[in-house]
Amino acid sequence: MDRRDFLKIAGIAGIGLSIPGSIEALADQNETSLAVATGASPEKITRAAIEAFGGMKKFVSRDDIVVIKPNMAWDRLPEQAANTNPEVVAAVVKLCFEAGAKKVKVFDRTVNDPRRCYIQSGVADAVKNAGAEVIFTDERKFKSMKIQGEAIKEWPLYTEIFEADKVINIPIAKHHGLAKITMSMKNWMGIMGGERNQIHQKLDQSLVDLSLKIKPALTVLDAVRILTANGPQGGRLSDVKKLDTVIVGVDQVAVDSYGATLFGMKGSDLGYVRIAAESGVGTMDLSRVNIKKISI
Amino acid sequence: MQNSRRLSQAIFLLAFLFLFIQTESKGADELGYPVKLFLDFDPLIFVTTLLSSHAAQKTFYLSFVVIIATLISGRVFCGWVCPLGTLNNIAGYFKRRKVGVKILDWNKVKYYLMISLLASSLFTLQLTGVIDPLSLLIRSFSLSVYPLFNYGISAMFDTVYDLNPRGIVDVSESIYSLFRQSVLSFQQPHFRQAAFVGMLFFLILGMNLYEKRFWCRNLCPLGAFLGILSRYALLKRSVSEGCTECGACSFECQGNASPDKKEQWKPTECFYCWNCDDICPHNAVSFGFHSRSVSKSSPGIDLGRRRVIASMMGGVITVPLLRVNPLSQSNMLSTKLLRPPGSLEESEFLKRCVKCGECMKVCITNGLQPAFLEAGLEGIWSPMLVPKVGYCEYRCTLCGQVCPTGAIKRLPLQEKMKVKIGLAMIDKSRCLPHAHATPCIVCEEVCPTSTKAVWFEKSIVKNREGRVIEIQQPGVDLQLCIGCGICEAKCPVKSQPAIYVTNIGESRSDKNRLLLT
């Protein structure tokens, strides 16, 4: 075989290999890539939004060990909208078990005292009742990992995230003094050990670096109540807006880009969404995302 | 009788330890257990607090139970109930049994100590907690014994975890998790002076090797208080004609009450442990409420009039001695003396605080630490918030819930969230956005008040390369700041935080005000 023949064969093979990919991409256009459900019951809208993807079975397989990462970093009550809505988290836990999950673990590395955050947020009780294991983070399980990003090279991260079969991110959408809005990508700060508050020095890039390291099977953005000011821990009920909405997607950049619209912003207004889209983490341009809206 | 006494001692010690371990947040607003119960039963704390502050906590009426029990049956509290007594009792078993060794006859010392404490408290100085057995025990456990127990157990399991021997880690981790759910603390506690407080405690236990129950016999002021009462106790010991004065009971006696000297038995020193009754080979000893008692001939306590007066004088002189110190003027407090939220004005606070350490044990962030000399010698081991160790959790009211004397008021949550324990200020020469053109918003992010006390001003700054950046620089709104110290605790400039709290502006003090309002 001479060089020319080789190139020919390689070329044909290349086309052949790329065809199934492009067919899949075409199919994607018709499938849901973002589901937005609105309604009075947090559990029902969560179920409906995930159903729009064909149900939890698409994401969780029989005997999977699933880690769920809500935001419950603050010693605040559910109505103050500083932590993920407990009913939304519990609904996801139930769906995981219905899909055959063996074990569901829920945790967060909190900012306020973890005991108070877990209880006062209402998340611990809600997910325990749904059968999940609620664990306090164990200092010994933060292990230094290579990230090789632009801003973070190496950081201690919580090992259980990487040992799980599936990871589901369930942030809440709320105001933040530096990030402007905190949603899915920023929720990964909750698995960082060490002196994580240093990343505020290069926050947008750090969040993108982190997002490249963690591959959630699914992201459920809680917008049942959103916090519009005084975030990320709020406290005042007048800053809380009830939207009765959840947004579900696999692409966390798309989820955050959509989330920005709830605050009257665009994805491109958020530095970390813009950089993430440029780095190929996901899609920021919502016109290229197939959004299914459900109302219950 | 010995076995029932041991059973009673075991029950009370375990109850004490149980309540001690429950003195910890589970995440709810209330603790759910009456963790300060033992202190509520302490009549000496009750009386001295009443004298020093003219205030009686309602729950202290429980201490009448102990007073009445003593008037009926002597120092049963010392022999059957007191958890420190029980620990001394256990430590005493390690003493080598030597016959005929003369022991110190120091048992009057405790009366002089008690008299001094009463005299001081009459003149508003409350020092009882320093040597009151229950206060001392809770403090020693909180600040030292329990932290070191936690440290030891965790270090053991951590070593196994790190070495990771095959097959063993799973077992050790499940045992560890059992420990964590039952007796270990949620997080390792750390206290300044842990070693100092601990050494004093172990010294007290160690003295049992020299003379058993050394502390209880010779030093305990509560024992002295109950001793005086037990002089009139109805339950008396009597010795029948069968006694040959063989001395068998003499070594067994817990209280050095001269049981072997028939007529010289000292009811004020007796713990009513019943050992002399149990050991007597002739079965000549009995306890009972009978009138045929030896009481009329039994010695009272001859303390000596001059010594009593000297003790009183000592107690009275201590008051100005400790107070002629600029720190005890309320406008000259040590800047870092941040009192827990709900604390009374400093002089009132010191009149009540018995340094039991309950608040420090329960503090959810470990931020409440024992003072050393920050509040003068009078305030040694009283609680102060050290934000670098731990901040005051905004929605937590536990310290006020456990304070036995009301030195820290029990505040409803809504009120507590408004109490200023000091004010935060920014050190612009260390702050990243102010001094180093570097973004950082941590103090604002964690500030718990709403509206946040930490606010931003957008400024245009130049970095070293001359690049112009827009940066948010923090400032503190002194009207809104409550001095909780979370900003100081979380500030990334860890060595010497760029935002820090001092006690200026604390709500409890009229003299420490800052703002004209």
**Domain map of chain B by residue range?**
340-409, 423-502
Domain match, A71 and A1 both: no
Q: Which two tokens stand for residue B100?
A: 């005929």
Q: Does B172 touch chain A (CB under 8 A)?
A: no
Q: Number of C-alpha atoms within 13 angstroms, CB side, residue A280?
A: 0
What is the value of pTM for the model shown?
Answer: 0.92
Instruction: Determine whether the interchain pair A116/B395 forms a contact, defined as Cβ–Cβ distance below 8 Å.
Output: yes
The reply to whether A19 and A109 lie within a common domain is no
For A113, the closest of B393, B451, B472 (CB atoms) is B393
Euclidean distance between CA atoms B221 and B469, whole angstroms = 67
Mutate to test the interface with B, among A233, A236, A237 (most CBs of B within 10 A): A233
Residues A156 and A134 occupy one common structural domain? yes
- Tell me A295's DSSP state: E
Size of interface A-B (CB pairs under 8 A): 80
Mean pLDDT of B349-377: 96
The per-residue pLDDT for range B8-60, each reduced to its tens digit, is 999 999 999 999 999 999 999 999 888 899 999 999 999 999 999 988 777 77
Domain, as residue range, for A157: 33-295
Comparing B211 with A11, which gets the higher pLDDT?
Answer: B211
Dihedral sign of CA atoms B501, B502, B504, B505 in order: positive
End-to-end CA distance of chain B: 68
| Residue contact A232–B494, C-beta within 8 A | no
Number of domains in chain A: 2
Query: What is d(CA B115, CA A180) in angstroms, rounded to the nearest whole number?
Result: 65
Inform me whether the pLDDT recorded for A282 exceeds 70. Answer: yes
Closest in B393, B449, B456 to A75, CB measured? B393
More confident: B241 or B412:
B412
Q: Are residues A155 and A90 in the same domain?
A: yes
- Is residue A100 a contact partner of residue A138, using CB atoms and an 8 Å limit? no
Q: What is the pLDDT of residue A20?
A: 44
Q: Tell me the mean pLDDT in the region A236-256.
A: 97
Place of tokens 């009463």: B118
Partners of B446 on chain A (C-beta within 8 Å) are: 111, 233
- The two three-digit tokens of residue B357, written as one number: 């350490």
- What pLDDT is stored for residue A24 in this prediction? 43
Name the residue among A111, A115, A233 with its Cβ closest to that of B27. A115
Rounded to the nearest 5 percent, the helix, strand and coil shares of chain B are 45, 10, 45
CATH of domain B423-502: 3.30.70
Strands (E), B249-322: 285-288
A149 and A244 belong to one structural domain: yes
Residues B396 and B257: their CA atoms lie apart, in Å, by: 49
- Asked if the C-beta of B516 comes within 8 angstroms of chain A's C-beta atoms, the answer is no
Helix (H/G/I), strand (E/B), else coil: B303: coil
CATH code for position A255: 3.40.50.11440
Q: Which among A91, A21, A101 has a CA at the least distance from the CA of A62?
A: A101
**How close, in Å, is residue B359 to chain A by CA atoms?**
17
User: Which residues in chain B are contacts of A197 at CB distance < 8 A?
Assistant: 440, 442, 490, 492
In the numeric block, which tokens belong to residue B202? 């172990």
A75 and B25 in contact by Cβ < 8 A? no
Strand, helix or coil at A4? helix
Distance (Å, whole) CA B447 – CA A284: 32
Determine the average pLDDT of the residues in B490-508.
96
Q: What is the mean pLDDT of chain B?
A: 92
| A112-128 pLDDT, tens digit each | 999 999 999 999 999 99
Residues A51 and A13 in one domain: no
Same domain, A14 and A115: no
* Contact of B470 with B382, CB cutoff 8 Å: no
Does residue A100 share a domain with residue A20? no
- Are A150 and A134 part of one and the same domain? yes
The domain defined by B340-409 folds into Alpha-Beta Plaits (3.30.70)
**Alpha-helix residue ranges (DSSP H) falling in B94-239:** 109-122, 128-131, 133-140, 146-163, 168-182, 194-210, 214, 221-230
Q: Which positions ≥6 away from B37 have C-beta within 8 Å?
A: B19, B62
Is the pLDDT reported for residue A225 higher than 60?
A: yes
Write down the residue that tokens 């809380």 correspond to: A240
Residue whose structure tokens are 């029902």: A44
Output the pLDDT for position A26. Answer: 43
Q: What is the pLDDT of residues A36-94, one digit of tens each?
A: 999 999 999 999 999 999 999 999 999 999 999 999 999 999 999 999 999 999 999 99
Residue B66 CA to chain centroid, in angstroms? 20
Note the pLDDT tens digit of each residue in B254-304: 988 888 877 788 889 999 999 999 989 888 888 888 655 444 555 667 888
Q: What is the helix (H) or strand (E) element at residue B402, kind and residue range?
A: helix B398-402
A213 and A175 in a single domain? The answer is: yes
**Which residues of chain A are at the B interface, by a Cβ-Cβ cutoff of 8 Å?**
75-76, 111-113, 115-120, 124, 136, 140, 176-178, 195, 197-198, 200-203, 230, 232-236, 239
CA-based nearest residue to B77, from B214, B225, B293, B202: B225
Yes or no, beta carbons of A235 and B449 under 8 Å apart: yes
Closest B-chain CA to A116: B27
Residues in chain A closer than 8 A to B418 (CB atoms): none
Q: Is the dihedral of CA A24, A28, A29, A30 positive or negative?
A: positive
Residues A251 and A263 reside in one and the same domain: yes
| Among candidate residues B102, B69, B81, the one with its CA nearest the CA of residue B4 | B81
Tell me the C-alpha distance between B438 and B467, whole Å: 12
Clarify whether residues A67 and A9 are in a common domain: no
B452 contact A CB<8A: yes
Q: Are strands A291-295 and A240-249 parallel, antiparallel or unpaired?
A: unpaired
